[in-house]
A and B are shown apart, each in its own frame.
Chain A
Amino acid sequence: MRWRAPADMSMGTFFRRGPSCTEVLEQLQAYLDGEIEAGPARRIASHLQRCDSCEGESLVFVQIKVSLTRVRREVDTEVLDALAKYGSRLMQNEFDQA
């Protein structure tokens, strides 16, 4: 069920000479989201270490992603505890299965 990068994303180039800036920028956000397979991800990481321009772009999106995590709504722990208890009761067959 995991999403895989489609074959037409020119993965072959990753193995021949490493990705170009265009190729890296196309996949940058998916890479930062952890959605790229390990091999191509290593090549993107290697490119970012060598290319100041692409690294600059990645840092902008990292800044935005990190900032967005601070927009996260705080979840009431009492709500989570109540839901955990509900789940436990289900597991212990305390509900009518009708």
Chain B
Amino acid sequence: MPELDVLYRTAWSLTRADADAQDLVQDTLLRAYRAIDRFDGRYPRAWLLTIMRNANINRARKKKPDLLDDPDATFERSIDFAENDGPETTFIDGEFDATVEEGFKRLPDKFREVIEFVDLNGLSYQETADVLDIPVGTVMSRLHRARKRIREYIEEVGLDAMESTR
């Protein structure tokens, strides 16, 4: 089964919870299986990611009544990235890496998610645009601004990003 790693990472980025991510991938695979006759054979990963986007929208709509019943419930996407990540899952190599990670975590949600999809999950600009249902230009703009902020944070804490390359 190709691309499972990318599918799972993308699902986790969308849901922020292991169990929900697994459910979302299974839902995506099931929908893809049922729609296979309509697949033209080109760009399988993009096709699967589009299906995943729709499956996630459907999942969010079904969850809404639960949120209304429990006003204190926190939608998974608002869970801070750090709460679901522990030292056993993040490898930090040196001060530069730790600073980049901190800069990443400080990003506004919309900037952080494009970094997550492109740099962490390996999606293309088009695939990220398809999953998030936003224009490619918006992906590029947010990505570039996000990286600029990470760079500014590196310099703000006293690390010279240029010096670290020498």
| A80 cross-chain contacts in B, Cβ below 8 A | 4-5, 8
**Structural contact, A84 and B12, CB atoms closer than 8 A:** no
CA of A30 to CA of B143, assembled, Å: 10
- Asked if A33 is at the interface (CB within 8 A of a chain B CB), the reply is yes
**A interface residues, tally (CB under 8 Å):** 37
**Size bracket, chain B contacts:** 35 or more
| A97 cross-chain contacts in B, Cβ below 8 A | 34
A1, A84, A88: most-surrounded residue (chain B CB, <10 A): A1
Could you tell me which residues of chain B, from 67 to 84, have a CB within 8 Å of some CB in chain A? Answer: none
Minimum distance in angstroms from A52 CB to a CB of chain B: 11
**Structural contact, A71 and B101, CB atoms closer than 8 A:** yes
**Structural contact, A29 and B100, CB atoms closer than 8 A:** no
Q: Please encode chain A, from 40 to 69, with 1 for each CB lying within 8 Å of some chain B CB and 0 for all others.
A: 000000000000000010011101110111
| B8 cross-chain contacts in A, Cβ below 8 A | 75, 79-80, 83
A interface residue numbers (CB < 8 A to B): 1-3, 29-30, 33-35, 56, 59-61, 63-65, 67-76, 79-80, 82-84, 86-88, 90-91, 95, 97
